[in-house]
């Protein structure tokens, strides 16, 4: 073993990842559109047809103005006995056309609701599925509030854009096209005036949009900060009250909430100018068309009738309105581009790599002594190791070896150095040492929450890198220091360790760790519903359930991280008896600050600043009067 060098700076450290943008606004929105079109292409085709029909019905009602004035109103004023029959007939046809437009508008609205909600469903499902495959390091470096904000606020911005902005953009494009063609047919000079004003409006929209997008991006980040702080304060409410930190918490929240207000104000201050600017430019365009048209009619140089001018003025409004609608939706588009970027950032996070092909199987021993895989639980486990000819089956004894292992959470900060551990089957290995010594880190490396930089870790002689991660973790039963219970019954929480466990299996596991007594005293016993992470239980009771969860899993290897840290001395003695029964026949790694709980360990490993400085039995370590002696007795060396 290499001689350890004392390093006082070898503390646990993590680098907080700040995600890079997934691309520019256009790329992000195009990616979102490809996702929508992949599943709802037919619906979008129907929506497009409905919008086209609606646009043509609107155009028909607009052009009807010209027909009404030139072909009906003016002739009727020139005869003594006007005949209103033809006028009533054409009005009836117009009503039918408009009713068709209403029906198409209703249909396209229904379809877009289905498209929007379906897309949101798929996005959330994709995000959650992907999140389950992310490494632990991702959750160590991203606040829960930030992730939750992406699921809620950012996804909701996409809902608004898909449901409102996309149909309006398509509607605007179609309306602009057919309106422009109609305007050209009515009057080319007046069309030039309309196009000039449309270019002015488009320039104003683009110029203001570029300046507001960065503020929308800041706004979404500030919103995530607010959500993260609220989640943090809810989780730590007891600590806040114990230290009378309410005023400081309120002050800090007001500060980050004010930052959200300022960023939202800056984003909308610019974006909200777009609509009134374009609206007034549209009014100016309307006036210019009226002045130019009247001038042309009075001059007599152009064949332009009064009805044509009135129809063109209406078309001009129809031409300017889509541009104004686009500008009105700019807030939604900008918000959506930022929201989509954050959603895709999660979806683009690299998942855990797993190249292992060795699996864990239930087995039984054949008469000739070989192992044979079986579908049912036998209490005997085997590693299925693929070979060129046929699989080889290796009995799971639980021998774990760490050979010259180096590790750092970041490449520039190493936290474990030259770790050498040889845990024989059925041995109890205890890790002791100060905070940040590397005890929990070692167990995180055994189950491959993190991958080592150098050295090897083997189980039963098989490199853990060759074992499929789900099967590796199935062979390891863990009881974490931070207990987490899920919403559900007590039975459901114990069964979480092994989903195919029967109710009786769960009850036997609870009895094994002496949790049966307090469970039966609950209002509904094992059927009692737990919520809020088991908030109606004491910390010790919650930890007993976590130990029972590990017991029902019946794994060949156990990892106990401060498993009895929150249990009183009397309960600890009861649990220790159950734990001794649980550990029998299994390789067990124990992390404990209460050194009395590891006196009977086969090997106690003392860690300091990421290095093993002592190892041996309780008596051996006391005899050398080193660091363990100091920790156990409280005396200076």
Interior/surface letters 130-140, b for 16+ CB within 10 angstroms, e for the rest? ebeebbebbee
9 located within any domain? no
409 located within any domain? yes
Interior/surface letters 237-248, b for 16+ CB within 10 angstroms, e for the rest? eeebeeeeeeee
Candidates 338, 348, 344, 346; CA nearest to 161 is 338
Residue-wise pLDDT tens digits, 382-406: 999 998 888 999 999 899 999 999 9
Pairing of strands 462-463, 454-459: antiparallel
370 shares a domain with 246: no
158 located within any domain? yes
DSSP state of 561: E
Report the DSSP beta bridge partners of residue 48.
Answer: none
SS3 38: helix
- Least confident range from 39-48, 121-130, 202-211, 307-316: namely 202-211
Average pLDDT (30-45) is 84
Q: pLDDT-based confidence at 73, cuts 50/70/90?
A: low
Give phi and psi for 198, each to the nearest 5: -65, -40
Displacement of CA 618 from its chain's centroid (Å): 47
Higher-pLDDT residue of 211, 626: 626
DSSP state of 536: T
State the pLDDT at residue 242: 62
Give phi and psi for 479, each to the nearest 5: -120, 110
Contacts for 185-189: CB closer than 8 Å, 24+ residues apart: 186/66, 186/308, 186/311, 186/312, 186/315, 187/293, 187/296, 187/302, 187/304, 187/308, 187/312, 189/292, 189/296, 189/302
State the pLDDT at residue 282: 73
CA distance 135 to 17: 13
Q: pLDDT-based confidence at 324, cuts 50/70/90?
A: low
Average pLDDT (59-69) is 72
Q: What percent of the chain has pLDDT over 70?
A: 84
Alpha-carbon distances, residue 585 vs 180, 210, 394, 509, 555 (angstroms): 83, 67, 17, 16, 10
CA distance 264 to 65: 44
Burial of 92 per CB tally in 10 Å (0-12, 13-18, 19+): exposed
CATH code of the domain in which 47 resides: 1.20.1560.10
CA distance 601 to 628: 14
12 located within any domain? no
408 shares a domain with 386: no
Average pLDDT (280-289) is 78
Q: Give the position of tokens 């959650």.
A: 128
Average pLDDT, the chain: 80
State the pLDDT at residue 446: 92
**Number of folded domains that form the chain:** 3
- Structural domain for 407, as ranges: 400-633
535 shares a domain with 620: yes
The sheet with strand 462-463 has its strands ordered as 416-423, 400-407, 454-459, 462-463
Residue-wise pLDDT tens digits, 435-463: 888 888 999 899 898 899 999 999 999 99
404 shares a domain with 391: no
CA distance 614 to 623: 12
Q: pLDDT-based confidence at 5, cuts 50/70/90?
A: very low
576 shares a domain with 445: yes
- Least confident range from 279-288, 327-336, 493-502: namely 327-336
Which of residues 368, 395, 422 is at a domain's end?
395
State the pLDDT at residue 83: 67
CATH code of the domain in which 472 resides: 3.40.50.300
Higher-pLDDT residue of 85, 555: 555
389 shares a domain with 508: no
509 shares a domain with 412: yes
410 shares a domain with 385: no
16 located within any domain? no
119 shares a domain with 93: yes
259 shares a domain with 110: yes
Give the helix ranges, DSSP H, for 133-236. Answer: 136-141, 144-149, 155-160, 166-186, 188-235
Tokens standing for 603?
């090997």
CA distance 441 to 452: 10
Q: What percent of the chain has pLDDT over 90?
A: 17
391 shares a domain with 374: yes
Residue-wise pLDDT tens digits, 96-122: 888 888 898 889 888 888 888 888 888
Displacement of CA 530 from its chain's centroid (Å): 25
Higher-pLDDT residue of 363, 322: 363
Higher-pLDDT residue of 478, 298: 478
Q: pLDDT-based confidence at 11, cuts 50/70/90?
A: very low
State the pLDDT at residue 571: 65
19 located within any domain? no
State the pLDDT at residue 4: 34
503 located within any domain? yes
SS3 604: strand
pLDDT at 1 over 50: no
13 located within any domain? no
State the pLDDT at residue 6: 30
553 shares a domain with 536: yes
Alpha-carbon distances, residue 239 vs 116, 245, 250, 419, 526 (angstroms): 42, 8, 14, 36, 31
Residue-wise pLDDT tens digits, 480-503: 777 788 888 999 999 988 888 899
The most confident of 245-259, 283-297, 499-513, 622-636, by mean pLDDT: 499-513
């Amino acid at each position: 073993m290499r001689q350890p060098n004392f390093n006082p700076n070898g503390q646990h450290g993590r680098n907080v990842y700040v995600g890079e943008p997934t691309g520019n606004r256009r790329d992000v929105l195009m990616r979102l559109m490809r996702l929508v079109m992949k599943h709802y292409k037919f619906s979008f085709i129907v929506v497009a047809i409905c919008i086209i029909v609606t646009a043509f019905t609107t155009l028909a009602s607009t052009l009807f103005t010209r027909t009404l004035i030139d072909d009906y109103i003016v002739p009727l004023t020139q005869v003594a006995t006007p005949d209103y029959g033809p006028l009533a007939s054409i009005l009836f046809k117009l009503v039918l056309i408009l009713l068709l437009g209403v029906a198409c508008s209703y249909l396209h609205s229904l379809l877009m609701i289905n498209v929007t909600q379906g897309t949101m469903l798929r996005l959330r499902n994709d995000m959650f599925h992907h999140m389950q495959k992310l490494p632990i390091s991702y959750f160590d470096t991203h606040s829960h509030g930030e992730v939750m904000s992406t699921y809620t606020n950012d996804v909701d911005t996409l809902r608004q854009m898909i449901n409102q902005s996309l149909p309006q953009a398509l509607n605007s494009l179609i309306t602009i096209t057919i309106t422009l063609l109609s305007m050209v047919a009515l009057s080319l000079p007046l069309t030039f005036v309309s196009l000039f004003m449309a270019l002015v409006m488009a320039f104003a929209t683009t110029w203001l949009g570029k300046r507001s997008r960065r503020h929308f991006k800041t706004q979404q980040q500030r919103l995530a900060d607010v959500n993260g702080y609220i989640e943090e304060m809810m989780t730590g409410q007891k600590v806040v009250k114990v230290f009378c930190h309410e005023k400081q918490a309120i002050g800090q929240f007001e500060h980050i909430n004010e930052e959200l207000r300022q960023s939202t104000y800056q984003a909308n201050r610019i974006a909200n100018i777009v609509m009134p600017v374009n609206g007034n430019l549209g009014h100016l365009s309307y006036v210019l068309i009226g002045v130019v048209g009247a001038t042309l009619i009075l001059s007599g140089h152009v064949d332009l009738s009064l009805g044509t001018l009135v129809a063109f003025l209406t078309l001009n409004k129809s031409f300017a309105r889509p541009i104004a609608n686009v500008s009105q939706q700019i807030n939604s588009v900008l918000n959506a581009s930022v929201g989509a970027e954050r959603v895709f950032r999660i979806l683009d996070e690299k998942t855990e790599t797993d190249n292992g092909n060795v699996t864990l199987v239930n087995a039984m021993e054949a008469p000739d002594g070989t192992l044979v895989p079986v579908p049912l639980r036998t209490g005997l486990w085997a590693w299925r190791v693929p070979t060129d000819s046929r699989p080889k089956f290796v009995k799971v004894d639980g021998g774990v070896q760490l050979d010259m292992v180096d590790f750092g959470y970041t490449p520039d900060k190493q936290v474990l150095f030259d770790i050498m551990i040889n845990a024989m089957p059925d041995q109890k290995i205890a890790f002791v040492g100060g905070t940040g010594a590397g005890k929990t880190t070692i167990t995180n490396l055994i189950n491959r929450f993190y991958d080592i930089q150098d050295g090897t870790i083997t189980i039963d002689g098989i490199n853990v890198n060759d074992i499929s991660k789900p099967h590796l973790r199935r062979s390891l039963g863990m009881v974490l220091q931070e207990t987490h219970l899920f919403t559900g019954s007590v039975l459901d929480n114990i069964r979480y360790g092994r989903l195919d466990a029967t109710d009786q299996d769960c009850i036997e596991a609870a009895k094994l760790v002496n949790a049966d007594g307090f469970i039966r005293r609950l209002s509904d016993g094992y059927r009692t519903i737990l919520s809020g992470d088991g908030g109606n239980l004491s910390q010790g009771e919650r930890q007993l359930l976590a130990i029972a969860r590990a017991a029902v899993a019946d794994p060949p290897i156990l990892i106990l991280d401060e498993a009895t840290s929150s249990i009183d001395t009397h309960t600890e003695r009861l649990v220790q008896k159950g734990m001794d029964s649980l550990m029998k026949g299994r390789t067990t790694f124990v992390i404990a600050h209460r050194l009395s709980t590891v006196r009977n360990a086969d090997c106690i490993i003392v860690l300091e600043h990421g290095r093993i400085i002592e190892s041996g039995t309780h008596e051996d370590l006391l005899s050398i009067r080193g660091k363990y002696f100091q920790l156990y007795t409280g005396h200076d060396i």
